Structure 1
Amino acid sequence: MLRCIINICKRKQALEAATMNETAPTTAKLTISSKTYSAWSLRGWLLCRLAGLEVEERKVANDAANRAELLLLSPSVLVPRLNYNGASVWDTLAIAEFLNEQFPEAGLLPADPIARALCRSISGEIHSGFSNLRSALPMNLKVRHESFPVFSGARPDIERIESIWQDCLERFGGPFLFGGHPTMADAMYAPVATRFITYAVPLAPECAAYCDTIFEWAPMQEWIAAAKAEPEEMEELEVEF
């Protein structure tokens, strides 16, 4: 027991030292989980790419030991977690707003105030809602299911997301949700697009085209390639982490 406590204390000291180093203005570190399964990690990473912020990735596996380590890094035990310019930011919406403040020229939000309000609203909706969709169609970038039975409770979520996408694509002309440049909303909905493709969910033509746009987006291609190179596999995906 004493040895265990000593080891935990040593690990905490090492992590605190590493965190102190993260306060340098030029240092950016992003703590993430599996690139194959973790939708939230994907969102945080895409947001950093949208901001033009190069990050050093710190990957934490989804097991008890690594979650104990993550607890020392972030009180919420959540990923993603961004350390930049002395700030420690977790929760994808908080990261999005922080990056928008740090890099206002990057266009994480539309310039038009009405479009900006809509972008924030639909980003918040995917952040806090659609729990049936998350449970029924877990993110998995390594497989394709051509005839996957979709839980009926997820149908309203799918229909609502289609409605959001159709509205934005019609109003702003595509190919991204708010026109020719991706925004925080595209980063937030990117994991949903992967789900629809993974499970071959029938979609309206414009929504299917939007999924293709997300998949062809260069940062997504980079993430997918890294996911396919990951060795770990999860046989059961009951919750999203």
Structure 2
Amino acid sequence: MTYTLHIANKRYSSWSMRPWVLFKALDIPFEEKLHFLQEDLAEQRRDYLTFSPSAKVPTLVDNSNTTLVHDSLAIAEYLAEDFPAVWPSDKLARAFARCAAAEMHSGFPAIRNECSMNVALRIELGTPSEALQRDINRLTELFNEGISKFGGPWIAGKEFSAADAFYAPIASRCKTYGIQLAGPAGEYIDRLYEHPAVQAWVEEGIVEAGILARYEADCIQGRKVLKNLGEQQILDFLGL
């Protein structure tokens, strides 16, 4: 295949999820290379340096010309050179979609820190912190604006784009932590979560073997786990 996409655990890796979902949603053939995250960070870095100069995922290799692209947003832009459907065809919608993807790429620190991605768990969030509530409010505002301006069903119009792929991990987080968005934003996040490409990632992540104690603890943060969709995988991990 022309493209090889290096990713980390589907259970945890929001950064990997974005380009993977984009490839799947646009039906672009690619080969997946899964590299489990490791408890030993030094060993993980040595492993990841064998395919990524930043020792991070995702990393895309274009096998047709050996080009290596090691950033999720850069991967989207690289694909757009050959697959224009990565972004909306309308100029205004395309600008909005690029802004939305860039905002996700660099922003929303509270939801990243307080609601780490774990596709298999359902966690009782409790009362959001002020910072987390600001992120939730901004997500609601952004999604409502996109749907209102461009008519939906996706964030910038009728066609699924990179902007939607970039918010796929947010859809997963909303399900994990029971975060409800108001108005069309809530309907959008439900629609995004049910997209076949997003569901394929989630379903594979639930049954994935590479469970790490530190990532589980970072997701739970002392909160109540309401449900574990991958219960057997946890039992296997604990040797029970």
Q: Structure 2 length as normaliser, TM-score?
A: 0.83
Unmatched runs of 5 consecutive residues or more in structure 2: 220-240
**Does 2:201 align with 1:223?**
yes
User: Which one of the candidate residues 10, 17, 30 is aligned to 2:5?
Assistant: 30
Structure with bigger helix share is: 1
* Cα offsets for 1:153-212 (capped at 9, x unmatched): 211111111110000011111111122211110001111111112111132031221111
**Does 2:167 align with 1:189?**
yes
Whole-angstrom CA distance in 1 between matches of 2:71 and 2:124: 33
Task: Please name the residue that 1:167 is paired with.
Answer: 145
Q: Secondary structure at the match of 1:48?
A: helix
Task: Please name the residue that 1:236 is paired with.
Answer: 217
Whole-angstrom CA distance in 1 between matches of 2:125 and 2:27: 38
Q: Secondary structure at the match of 1:31?
A: strand
Whole-angstrom CA distance in 1 between matches of 2:9 and 2:34: 7
CA drift of 1:216 comes to 1.4
Task: Please name the residue that 1:141 is paired with.
Answer: 119
Whole-angstrom CA distance in 1 between matches of 2:180 and 2:26: 32
- Residue identity in the other structure for 1:31: H
Whole-angstrom CA distance in 2 between matches of 1:166 and 1:203: 10
* Cα offsets for 1:64-100 (capped at 9, x unmatched): 3333121121111111111112211111110000000
Whole-angstrom CA distance in 1 between matches of 2:9 and 2:33: 11
CA RMSD across the alignment: 1.5
- Residue identity in the other structure for 2:31: E
Q: Structure 1 length as normaliser, TM-score?
A: 0.82
User: Which one of the candidate residues 93, 96, 107 is aligned to 2:73?
Assistant: 93
* Cα offsets for 1:97-135 (capped at 9, x unmatched): 00000212xx11111111111111111011011111100
Task: Please name the residue that 1:122 is paired with.
Answer: 100
- Residue identity in the other structure for 1:87: T
Task: Please name the residue that 2:82 is paired with.
Answer: 102
Whole-angstrom CA distance in 2 between matches of 1:198 and 1:235: 12
Does the CA-based 8 Å contact 1:50-1:108 persist in structure 2?
A: no
For residues 62-77 of structure 1, the aligned pairs below 5 Å read: 62-63=37-38, 64=41, 65-77=43-55
Whole-angstrom CA distance in 1 between matches of 2:178 and 2:60: 33
- Residue identity in the other structure for 2:14: A
CA drift of 1:28 comes to 1.6
Whole-angstrom CA distance in 1 between matches of 2:88 and 2:2: 27
Percent identity of paired positions between Structure 1 and Structure 2: 36
Whole-angstrom CA distance in 1 between matches of 2:167 and 2:218: 20
Q: Secondary structure at the match of 1:61?
A: coil
Count matched residues. 211
* Cα offsets for 1:4-47 (capped at 9, x unmatched): xxxxxxxxxxxxxxxxxxxxxx4321100010111001002012
CA drift of 1:51 comes to 4.0
Whole-angstrom CA distance in 2 between matches of 1:52 and 1:44: 12
Q: Secondary structure at the match of 2:5?
A: strand
Task: Please name the residue that 1:13 is paired with.
Answer: none
- Residue identity in the other structure for 1:42: M
Q: Secondary structure at the match of 1:111?
A: coil
CA drift of 1:54 comes to 1.6
- Residue identity in the other structure for 1:121: C
